Chain A
Amino acid sequence: MVIEQFGWLIPVFPLVAFLLIVGVTYRFKLLSAIVATFFAGLSLALSVLIMVQKVINPVTTEKFINWLSISTPTQTLLNIQLGYLMDPLAAVMSFIVTLVATLVLLYSIGYMKGDEGFSRYFAYISLFTFSMLGLVISNNYFQTFFFWELVGLCSYLLIGFWFFKPEAADASKKAFITNRWADFGFLVGIIGLFTVFGTFNFGQLATQIPQYQNALILLGLGLLVFLGPVGKSAQFPFHVWLPDAMEGPTPISALIHAATMVAAGIYLVARGYALFYSVENVMQVIAYVGGFTALFAATIALVQKDIKRILAFSTLSQLGYMMMALGVGSMTSGMFHLTTHAFFKALLFLGAGSIIHAVHNQDIFKMGGLAKKMPISSWTFVIGSLALCGIFPLAGFWSKDEILTVTLQHHFVGLFVLGTLVAFLTAFYMFRLIFIALFGQKRSDHHAHESPWTMTLPLIILAVFSIFAGLVNTPWFYQWTGFSFSTLVYFHEPEIPVIHWSIAGLSTVAALLGIFTAWMIYARRLISADMLATKMSFLHRVLSNKYYIDELYAWLFKYVMLGLGKVLDFVDHVVIDGLFDGTAGAIRATGVRLRLFQTGRLQQYALLIFVAVAILVLWGVR
């Protein structure tokens, strides 16, 4: 129990690393990397200890200090806490974040070697990890929002790490601003919650919300708060930033896609589940937004050529799965998929980084034949892909099966069909990538070679997790140890894991079919990919251009927002200035005219006086 009292140190370690790097070790590149990795490792060790403790005794620890309060002499009107909430959910999330962060840091030592901004990079990642962990252990919406925004800032800094590349600068700005639009809703939602319930605290809200009667207000608040996760977890229609976010260094993509950014949205929905769960319509919105995103992104991934872009759309799609799971009513399965996905998506991105590092190219059609040149990177990549596709008995199999099962159990038949279809598409696009990039002939003049151990070791560790992590939510594991993921992380009632072989079989068939189709087209070339592309050229063009949504947003920004700005600028300069300058001008002009009467010539005044007197006299005489 003692160790848990120090759980708030989990985010503090990376903060210390950040401050140390910025303040002390900035000039000593390797030292900066060691500091960052070491402190992240400390956080990881502490997270593991706490998670073990949560497994043994799943109680909730909450501590806080009052950070800000506004009051009248008689009552407190607003009280904001700086809090520490450690329950199994937070423990699992801390573990994922610190594990991925530590591995990414280790990996980056090799990957970022020779970069001018080496220390800056490690400082940013430390700050990123700190922000994410601060969010994870938060006990209230305000603090969550606080760190939520810092997470957004760090993603901005890291996506735009190579600020001299115009694409990177654009992408970082896009990420921040897209998230800002979503956070607008989140912020209004939090303030609305405070206005209605008078608190930001998760626990207090969880007890008050179910008793609250006005469903319409809850619906509004639920949807507003949900906008935050829609942005952060890149759900449709706020997904546009995530594919562009690959402009950052590749390890950052691993971090963003697996642990520190997009996971925040899913985590928030789980953390604030009491709010969403209380209104059925909100849950439906979450489920359908997630389901739609899953399908939408998977279709785009089918035709992309950039290895990171394919993975990015895959992340979008998988996040859609998680949202869908949360929306249909199973917090456990959403969080479980988040966990397994963190491992294999981090693995895939780091693997992709290793490949890009070797061939200096991101176009899969310029790779080919890598499996022989870089076996560790390639085969771990295959493991990650199999896990992602949900092939038995890898991690993704268990979590995806779980999601499809709960979707059907909660009578979302449409979403179930959709989810199965996505499983097929996922397998297809991943193995399209694999057959083109890793196997077959060399497609360009590259001299690929295996990466150094600091890069391959994280791959191996993540591959091990990608294989075995799913087992923690199987009946066998439960019988053996007496606990499972679903008895640890749950809303209301713990569940004992069961396997639905029919659903598992169906999704496995879908995935195998996807792999088989990809094999037919891209390995055996029984069907020509080019022919398909020309036959369905319209569809191909739409998918390649990501349904033109980026173009639509760019148009809206340019013509609506900037246009409005120009109109208002015109109003300022011409209408308002015209009015006031005109008034001043009119006064001045009047003055100029009136001045003519004050010539200073006495004769003129005398003449005027004479004329005036004459008029008066004549008038009097009459």
Chain B
Amino acid sequence: MSLLSYIILTPFIGAAMLVLIPEKQTTFIKLVSALFAFIGLALSFYLFLNYDKSLGGMQFVENIPWIKAFAINYKLGADGLSVSMALLTGIIWFAGVLVTWNLQERVKEFFIYMLILVGGVFGVFLSLDLLVLFIFLEIAVIPKFILIHIWGSGKKEYSAMKYTLYLLAGSAFSLIALILIYIHSSTLDVTQLALITYSVPFQKFIFFLLLIGFGVIVPLWPLHRWTPDGHSSAPTAISMLLAGVIMKLGGYALIRVGIGVFPAGAAFWAPLIAVIAVVNCIYIALVAMVQKDLKYVVANSSISHMGYVLIGIAAMNTISLTGAASQMFAHGIMAALFFALVGAIYNKTHTRMLADFGGLAFQMPRAATLFLITGLASLGLPGFFNFVAEFLIFAGAFKVYPVLTTVTILAVVITAIYVLRVVQQMFFGPRNPKWDSLTDLKGIELVPLVFLAVILLWFGLVPSSITNLINQGIDPIVAQIGGAL
């Protein structure tokens, strides 16, 4: 077994361990969860450090025949793209466990489902066989339904069902594509599939199916409506995982399978993706601006930011795709940080309605500072990795779609407007005595928040420590495009 298998197995083993622990022992359950999350983080960080940049390409490859009759293999491998996504998953998993430290309700089941979900996410990022990838994708999607349904808030039943239906409907499209690919090529090995030459009409059709299937996850307008409700109903850690990694599965799969295997199909649909990206960015940013519930602002902001990823994908060149993958990483961390903060503040104020807030900077200066930092990262302030990612996307996409990219950049302004409005409404203004009983964030509450913020700053100031890696993962995919056009 290779490192990658260990990474994927860690959460599943953790889940199995938790099954054995009596459910009353909540502290022990949390400690075990944290331990496994830490192991997962350490392993993904180890992978990040040990990926040999001088060699590039797929490393740590593991290929075990699974269903021999159908040539289906349990095949894993990691390139720069997967390594960075795996690191992202490890980081958010770990932070997610820490923010859930005060959970009281059905602790054992919560962590079991969470671990299964994380295992699925690792599996998607690290597998090289489409069937295995698809199965892991479903493993990542399903526990979410239960997690929102049981531990959620507000109209959680509706949200959980909405989320599940959207994503399963998307899966249906991917599954059709998968079957057609298999019928055509008799293999589902991504590296082998990439070597085959497909007819252009076939590519167009398959890419379209994948665009819908994976696009729902991104989410692609107008298939995005599961996101705001899903986020706002989900418990904090689950919102973090949802915005932090689940949404990235779609972007990852579109790059890896969509562009990597069907470049001509991608090129055909790219202009449509670019247009939708603009809609994602601008339209949703405007929607975010008029939300009254804090979590809806952040949720819509996530959709808007994923629009940048989409235009990066649509431009299909090295700079824009490196930017898109960087943005998935940066946004993953930032969105997780945002949701973690919103959750931490909600735990104190018991409200998420913006109109209820005001003057909170007096009682919670640390929360205010962290919130402002996160907001600044979100609006693309230099110094945070989000800025680098967005800049690369714009610089790459401008060559291909100058007008659409220019319009997309307007979203940076709108983001600033809604972020600063929220900051002002929540924290500024005269001292409000009704918050006087609140204590500021401290101790373990601060750990995941500072951890995530430091990561954004680190990669924002020393971006090459991760962009070089992503760049290397993107290279062969772009070479593929060059061959196809």
Contacts and interface: CB of A to CB of B under 8 A. Distances in A.
Contacts of B421: 173
Given A68-B464, A180-B413, A184-B410, A568 B225 contact: no
A564 B279 CA distance: 13
Interface string B395-428: 1001100100110011011101100110010011
Dominant secondary structure at the A interface: helix
Contacts of A176: 416, 420
A115 interface: no
Contact of B409 (A73, A187, A569): A187
B471 interface: yes
Nearest to B288: A565
Nearest to B463: A68
Contacts of A156: 420
Contacts of B427: 163
Interface in A46-83: 67-73, 77-78
A580 B318 CA distance: 36
Interface in B437-485: 463-464, 467, 471, 475, 478-479
A160 interface: yes
Interface in A381-398: none
Nearest to B279: A568
A126 to B, nearest CB: 15
B381 interface: yes
Contact of A565 (B289, B362, B413, B479): B289
B428 A163 contact: yes
A150 B383 CA distance: 8
B222 A568 contact: no
Interface in B136-192: 162, 165-166
B225 A177 contact: no
A561 interface: yes
Given A68-B467, A568-B286, A77 B412 contact: no
A187 B395 CA distance: 10
A109 interface: no
B287 interface: yes
Nearest to A162: B428
Given A195-B399, A568-B283, A145 B420 contact: no
A187 B412 contact: yes
Interface string A555-579: 0000001101110110010001100
B287 A569 contact: yes
A153 interface: yes
B409 A184 contact: yes
B233 to A, nearest CB: 15
B366 interface: no
Contacts of B471: 70-71
A572 B225 contact: yes
Contacts of B463: 67-68
Nearest to A168: B428
A499 interface: no
Secondary structure call for the B interface: helix
Contact of A78 (B286, B319, B431): B319
Contact of B381 (A153, A170, A566): A153
A429 to B, nearest CB: 33
A177 B289 contact: no
A597 interface: no
Contacts of A169: 424, 428-429
A72 B475 contact: yes
B382 interface: yes
Contacts of A70: 318-319, 322, 392, 467, 471
B286 A72 contact: no
B394 interface: yes
A153 B376 contact: yes
A149 interface: yes
Contacts of A78: 319, 392, 395
A576 B395 contact: no
A577 B225 contact: yes
A68 B225 contact: no
Interface in B369-394: 376, 379, 381-383, 387-388, 391-392, 394
Contacts of B413: 177, 180-181, 184
Contacts of A164: 359, 361-362, 428-431
A188 interface: yes
Nearest to A73: B475
B49 interface: no
B20 interface: no
A584 interface: yes
A188 B412 CA distance: 11
Contacts of B286: 561, 564-565, 568
Contacts of A149: 381-382, 387
A147 B383 CA distance: 9
B290 interface: yes
B383 A177 contact: no
Contacts of A166: 428-430
A219 interface: no
Interface in B271-285: 283
Contacts of B376: 153
Contacts of B361: 163-164
A225 to B, nearest CB: 14
Interface string B337-373: 0000000000000000000000101100000000000
A194 B222 CA distance: 33
A241 to B, nearest CB: 13
Interface in A174-233: 176-177, 180-181, 184, 187-188, 191-192, 194-195
B464 A69 contact: yes
Contact of B420 (A173, A188, A194, A195): A173
Contacts of B395: 78, 191, 194-195
A177 B388 CA distance: 20
A77 B431 contact: no
A150 B359 contact: no
A461 B151 CA distance: 65
Nearest to A153: B381
A575 to B, nearest CB: 9
A562 B421 CA distance: 12
Nearest to A567: B286
B266 to A, nearest CB: 18
A184 B225 CA distance: 29
A167 to B, nearest CB: 11
Given A195-B398, A584-B165, A180 B429 contact: no
A12 to B, nearest CB: 14
B394 A187 contact: yes
A576 B362 contact: no
A28 interface: no
Report which residue of A68, A153, A577 has the largest number of chain B beta carbons within 10 angstroms of its beta carbon: A68
Contacts of A160: 428
Interface in A130-151: 142, 145-147, 149-150
Nearest to B379: A180
B464 A572 contact: no
A577 B228 CA distance: 12
Nearest to A157: B372
A70 B421 CA distance: 35
Interface string B215-228: 00000001001001
B383 A565 contact: no
Contacts of B467: 68, 70
B394 A562 contact: no
Contacts of B319: 70, 77-78
13 contacts: A70-B392, A78-B319, A147-B382, A149-B382, A164-B359, A176-B420, A177-B417, A191-B398, A194-B395, A561-B417, A565-B289, A572-B225, A584-B165
Interface of B: 162, 165-166, 222, 225, 228, 283, 286-291, 318-319, 322, 359, 361-362, 376, 379, 381-383, 387-388, 391-392, 394-395, 398-399, 402, 405-406, 409-410, 412-414, 416-417, 420-421, 424, 427-431, 463-464, 467, 471, 475, 478-479
Given A70-B392, A146-B382, 5 more contacts: A70-B318, A70-B467, A176-B420, A180-B416, A568-B287
